[in-house]
Structure 1
Amino acid sequence: MINQDIPAIRRLPSLVANQIAAGEVVERPASVVKELLENSLDAQATQIEIEIEQGGIALIRIRDNGFGIRKEELLLALSRHATNKISSLEDLEQLNSLGFRGEALASIAAISRLTLNSRFHNQEMGYGIHLDGREQPTIPEPIAHPIGTTLEVRDLFYNTPARRRFLRTDKTEFGHVHEMIKRLALSCFNVSFKLTHNHKTLMALKIAQPEADKLQRVGMLCGPEFIDHILTVQADCGGMQLSGWITQPTYSRSQPDMQYFFVNGRIIRDKLLNHAVRQAYEDVLHLSRYPGYVLYLQLDPREVDVNVHPTKNEVRFVQSSAVYQFLVHSLQNSLANTCPNQVGSPTSVQVLFKNNSAEAEQSISASHPPITSSGSDSKDNLSLPFASFYPTSSPSALAIQETTQVYQALSAPVLADDELISRETALPIPPLGYALAQLHGSYILAENATGLILVDIHAAHERITYERMKSAWQEDKLVAQMLLVPVMVAVSEREANLAEQQLELFNQLGFDISRIGPEALLVRQVPMLLAATNIAVLVRDVLADLSRFGVSSRLENHIQDLLATLACHTAIRANQSLTLLEMNALLREMEPTQRSNQCNHGRPTWVQLSLKELDSLFLRGR
């Protein structure tokens, strides 16, 4: 039976509507800070001061030197859906501002005691209004105020006690505020920021325009260790630009707390972007570890929809697959440079020669014993443990030849002059130097221009072998194998439709897939390396990725996992004795090999101890 006491439909009071809107926009003090700072940045401010008390619950005061608000627009600024950032649907589709909804101030004013003071850039004086949870704010009054705006928010959630009960301690809330300011400071190097909490200055950042100043700001916000392990990213393709910094794989974290991604200047937390970064680190970082990064993606505003979520933290790309591939390839290219050859330019070796000095000759010969390339010592008789592995065309012989030539040059006869002569030879010292000995069958001790090098033999050779295997697979990845018994894969009708749409993609990857029913696929051919895997599960996983991200890297990841396992099993094992020639050949192999600074699991393959560090161990110079 229908209840006869049915309420009539009516328009909500504006205060109630604003408080409901505040529930979407204002979650905690940090949300207020974000909305107000974005308004300051949209007002072209170059100086922003933030004062916080009791984690932002008692007070949030933000001053800026932006262009300000006209006297006649102050009241309008506190009403819902009032903004100067868009005026039409076309503007919404190509946003260049951080804010655009026009409801932030109205929502904040509905749950706090708000004061708005501002002076427009071409007006003689400023004006201020106050709103204390009432329907209408006060009439604007003239005040002394510099060009720009000051917004003061007191007693947040004072009139909505249910919301206030969900707030945490002052320390926790301020932590969220500090993190929000940190993110915006990383996105706007052309703005100075000053932050005080309970009358104590905690942040004072100057405008940072040169690259060195930008890095200094990043170091202040992310820590000096972050700066010590970064790689620069700079890529441009198809109207998209990616710039910023990512951390080397050997510097990783146990949680994703040092990850900042900006799209057209807006801080974003997006599954597609996170997945792309994770994919780029796929074979250089352990799955339980997270990289750090500060990345900036610029693209046509019409190609990205920021009007997806009230907090504006999520976006949707028109060409999500293109964005994904661009990010993955750009970051992989940067990570590929993590090899010893990228550490620095080679330093020429200084060799001392003295007439009739047997001691000098013995010293040189002991460090670099002469090797001939004929007879019993010829390179044909050198059976390097890493010369015969897949692929068969190994550059190890060339490395041996180059090493032999270096040794012969360094062990040349002494000069006939009586004076001590210092000369610079034409032979550079390579980044990893020359091997001195093998330690406990697991490590190479080598000397380079700046100190001592320690190399993990198994990890280094594992990476070298893996990179060769990947290169070989890239050249022959279309080699496919017909299945003796075709595999039928049961899927949903939506997945079957998606598979039909992506047949070309599957064909490029070596699959022969056809639809044999509304909810059934038949796989007749697969890449040779995947013949022994669970084909049905793999196909379903690929379709799930395509549905979610518009792209899938499951097949490549599966193959790379297999190659990594093969590389691990074929790499030099611990306690396998190597000659000096074999050790030096391995060092020469490492230097040009991409990603050879870390093994397949993200662990370092070599470390450097500088002479300064060695001296400090023995308290030299003190």
Structure 2
Amino acid sequence: MGANDRNMILPRIRQLDEGAVNRIAAGEVVERPASAVKELVENALDARATRVTVDIADGGRTLIRVTDDGHGIDPDDLPMALSRHATSKIDGSDLLNIHSFGFRGEALPSLGAVGRLTITSRAQGSDGAATIHVSGGRIDAPRPAALRQGTVVELRDLFHATPARLKFLKSERSETMAVTDVIRRLAMAEPGVAFALRDISDGGERILFRADAAADMTGRMAAILGRAFTDNAMSIDAERDGFRLTGLAGLPTYSKGNSVSQYLFVNGRPVRDKMLTGALRGAYVDVLARDRHAVAALFVTCDPELVDCNVHPAKTEVRFRDAGIVRGLIVSGLRHALAGAGHRSATTTAEATLGAMRPGRPTAPVYQMDRPSQQARAASYSAQMPGFSEAPSARMEDSVAPDDAATSAPLGAARAQLHENWIIAQTETGIVIVDQHAAHERLVYEQLKAQMRDRGVVAQALLIPDVVEVGPMADLLLSLDLSRLGLSLEPFGPGTVAVRETPAILGNVSAEVLIRDILDELEESDGADPLSLQSRLDAILSRMACHGSVRSGRRMSAPEMNALLREMETTPNSGQCNHGRPTYVELRLSDIERLFGRT
């Protein structure tokens, strides 16, 4: 051992002062202005406020003020409210039986450690109000104040005591959007409370968000997410083993390009939980494309002892005692609702269609399907229908006769087929335009799933087995046991398989093309979230369904078109194809009349 090592002075362990402890704790509790707003508004809700008003300036950097009409704080308790781990919401004997938003007693002292905090409050039944101020952890003595009821908490110059944190904040616009999102989520959790968020930067006043007290959850969702969501959402109510799932979930055709419109709550608390969002994604995997996301507001309620919300100081993460039950409840509850929605499709597709049809206002198409060349279509139709010859691009179905009974059906009576792909049906209140390929693809897919679930997909043997080279994917393909899907494969040398049977429902189909489509599906899902075996089999069935569907460009007779409409009306999920696109658009007579300026 060298002389320097022998003479080294060991660092001593010392107790940090209260101010340093609070600043360290604030790093977890208060990450940005939105975190402060969340903590203060949750305190107002725990005080049983019926009206909460939030004022911010400069995205919350220079001012956050939360005003409520709750039960207030007793003047003698104000100094204690600024002490670390002091709270009126629990007694500390049971950290699982939590019935309030807050319970850790960290928010107020943390805010006082990193900003200039003033609390003015008048307790119910008190003769007067009191105020207390803390800046950088230094607490002033309480003094009398004027306030009619409730509490006003004012936080100025956030992070003035820890200026390095200011460098990590985003732009004023980004911070304002984050604050707005917090208020939106808390407003969803408490529909009976009125909320207002105002930006008072530069001495002005701009309303960023407002929601009056609503009688029920649907009314609050309509006010926050819009009437379009509630009009195109399914009501969810399911129970399992002590857990209940309620809320609204959008139709697959009412989806978004990102997941920002997914709102999840556990016992009324807004949370961001990977397990819950994964379950939501899994419930829609059969009806949405991979780049689309469901719109939903879902509420999980249970005995507080079945869930731990004390995982992180921010309280946005939870841990369930049995996560499998909750995941299964979400998946089964949503899939049951999707099946119950039947052929229902989003009304917004009609609105977008009308927008695209109005002259002088060109817009991108709502949905676009790849359309092969005329030569490729002709070759495909010849294989599908021997003796087929290419028809004109648009044709009326002369054999369609008026059918008053059929027009009263949800999807009406077929009246024409245009461009050998679009079925025009007449209803009592308007018309329906059906994408015949997309619709039949969903019908075949649902039939395949039903067969596999009941007895396995019926197979037909090939007279001569097809030998297909698949390369290194051969082992994976053979390991999936596709015989349940009506597809019999055997190894046939390195990287090669022999196809002996194909699903009977697909008719005459190229085994090689089918296998290559299945390989494409397996490769596409390889980089995504891990799929269960059943999910992979369903994805393969979806690919197979495309091969057995009525192709775009195939001429259909009147009975065929009407049969397709009737089957859509009785088939679950038929409002959208396997990729989440709508299978039909409904236009009411009033919509059509508007196009021609008749209203």
Q: Same fold (TM over 0.5)?
A: yes
* Distance change in 2, residues 1:82/1:615 (3 Å): same
**2:431 corresponds to which residue?**
452
* Distance change in 2, residues 1:322/1:170 (3 Å): same
Distance 1:281 1:94 in 2: 33
Q: Is the 8 A contact 2:407 2:428 kept in 1?
A: no
- Which residue of 47, 54, 59 maps to 1:50? 54
* 1:224 Cα deviation from its structure 2 partner: 4.0
* 1:42 Cα deviation from its structure 2 partner: 0.9
Aligned partner letter, 1:19: R
Distance 1:567 1:134 in 2: 66
- Which residue of 174, 178, 181 maps to 1:179? 181
* Distance change in 2, residues 1:525/1:195 (3 Å): closer
Residue 214 (structure 2) pairs with residue 204 (structure 1): no
Aligned partner letter, 1:79: S
* 1:124 Cα deviation from its structure 2 partner: 1.2
- In the TM superposition, what whole-angstrom CA distance separates every residue of 1:393-436 from its partner, at most 9, and x where no partner exists? xxxxxxxxxxx9x97985xxxxxxxxxxxxxx8x8710010000
**1:558 corresponds to which residue?**
536
Residue 81 (structure 2) pairs with residue 77 (structure 1): yes
* 1:102 Cα deviation from its structure 2 partner: 0.5
**1:620 corresponds to which residue?**
598
* 1:146 Cα deviation from its structure 2 partner: 2.2
Give % identity: 42
**1:192 corresponds to which residue?**
194
Distance 1:105 1:343 in 2: 45
Residue 107 (structure 2) pairs with residue 128 (structure 1): no
- Which residue of 432, 435, 439 maps to 2:411? 432
SS at match of 1:462: helix
Q: Is the 8 A contact 1:306 1:314 kept in 2?
A: yes
* 1:5 Cα deviation from its structure 2 partner: 2.4
SS at match of 1:174: helix
1:538-557 to 2 correspondences below 5 Å: 554-557=532-535
SS at match of 1:149: strand
Give the superposed CA RMSD. 2.7
* Distance change in 2, residues 1:141/1:80 (3 Å): same
* 1:134 Cα deviation from its structure 2 partner: 4.1
Count the aligned residue pairs: 484
Residue 225 (structure 2) pairs with residue 222 (structure 1): yes
**2:298 corresponds to which residue?**
295
- Which residue of 306, 313, 316 maps to 2:316? 313
**2:112 corresponds to which residue?**
109
Residue 581 (structure 2) pairs with residue 577 (structure 1): no
5+ residue gaps, structure 2, are 348-383, 386-398, 459-478, 492-528
Q: Is the 8 A contact 2:238 2:246 kept in 1?
A: yes
SS at match of 2:432: strand
1:78-93 to 2 correspondences below 5 Å: 78-90=82-94, 92-93=95-96
Residue 8 (structure 2) pairs with residue 17 (structure 1): no
Distance 2:264 2:301 in 1: 11
Q: Is the 8 A contact 1:343 1:431 kept in 2?
A: no
Distance 2:32 2:169 in 1: 7
* Distance change in 2, residues 1:269/1:532 (3 Å): farther
Q: Is the 8 A contact 1:126 1:143 kept in 2?
A: yes
Distance 1:532 1:300 in 2: 50
SS at match of 1:7: coil
* 1:238 Cα deviation from its structure 2 partner: 2.3
* 1:216 Cα deviation from its structure 2 partner: 4.1
Q: Is the 8 A contact 1:341 1:592 kept in 2?
A: no
Distance 1:334 1:465 in 2: 21
**1:389 corresponds to which residue?**
none
5+ residue gaps, structure 1, are 345-384, 387-403, 411-424, 480-522, 535-548
**2:149 corresponds to which residue?**
147
* 1:618 Cα deviation from its structure 2 partner: 1.2
Distance 2:241 2:117 in 1: 46
Distance 1:128 1:533 in 2: 81
* 1:215 Cα deviation from its structure 2 partner: 3.4
Distance 2:434 2:420 in 1: 11
Q: Is the 8 A contact 1:434 1:448 kept in 2?
A: yes
SS at match of 2:315: coil
**2:394 corresponds to which residue?**
none
Aligned partner letter, 1:140: P
Distance 2:166 2:346 in 1: 53
Residue 576 (structure 2) pairs with residue 608 (structure 1): no
1:183-582 to 2 correspondences below 5 Å: 183-198=185-200, 199-210=205-216, 214-340=217-343, 429-476=408-455, 528-529=484-485, 554-582=532-560
- In the TM superposition, what whole-angstrom CA distance separates every residue of 1:216-257 from its partner, at most 9, and x where no partner exists? 432332234333422221222322211111111112211111
Q: Is the 8 A contact 2:407 2:426 kept in 1?
A: no
* Distance change in 2, residues 1:477/1:110 (3 Å): farther
* Distance change in 2, residues 1:408/1:616 (3 Å): closer
* 1:342 Cα deviation from its structure 2 partner: 9.1
Q: Is the 8 A contact 1:340 1:431 kept in 2?
A: no
* 1:70 Cα deviation from its structure 2 partner: 1.2
* Distance change in 2, residues 1:609/1:260 (3 Å): same
**2:167 corresponds to which residue?**
165
Distance 1:341 1:46 in 2: 38
Aligned partner letter, 2:316: N
* Distance change in 2, residues 1:441/1:204 (3 Å): same
* 1:553 Cα deviation from its structure 2 partner: 5.8
Distance 1:122 1:477 in 2: 71
- Which residue of 38, 43, 47 maps to 2:42? 38
Distance 2:40 2:490 in 1: 54
* 1:202 Cα deviation from its structure 2 partner: 2.7
* Distance change in 2, residues 1:2/1:180 (3 Å): farther
- In the TM superposition, what whole-angstrom CA distance separates every residue of 1:58-93 from its partner, at most 9, and x where no partner exists? 111111111111121110100101011121342x11
* 1:531 Cα deviation from its structure 2 partner: 7.7
* 1:189 Cα deviation from its structure 2 partner: 0.4
Distance 1:331 1:12 in 2: 51
Aligned partner letter, 1:599: C
Distance 1:235 1:470 in 2: 24
Aligned partner letter, 2:541: L
Aligned partner letter, 1:177: V
* Distance change in 2, residues 1:2/1:445 (3 Å): farther
* 1:271 Cα deviation from its structure 2 partner: 1.0
Distance 2:334 2:436 in 1: 27
Distance 1:95 1:45 in 2: 19
* Distance change in 2, residues 1:270/1:57 (3 Å): same
* Distance change in 2, residues 1:531/1:167 (3 Å): farther
Q: Is the 8 A contact 2:241 2:325 kept in 1?
A: no
* Distance change in 2, residues 1:453/1:526 (3 Å): closer
SS at match of 2:119: strand
Q: Is the 8 A contact 2:345 2:584 kept in 1?
A: no
* Distance change in 2, residues 1:255/1:524 (3 Å): closer
SS at match of 2:83: coil
- In the TM superposition, what whole-angstrom CA distance separates every residue of 1:580-612 from its partner, at most 9, and x where no partner exists? 111101100000100000000000000011101
SS at match of 1:558: helix
SS at match of 1:110: helix
Aligned partner letter, 2:238: A
* Distance change in 2, residues 1:477/1:109 (3 Å): farther
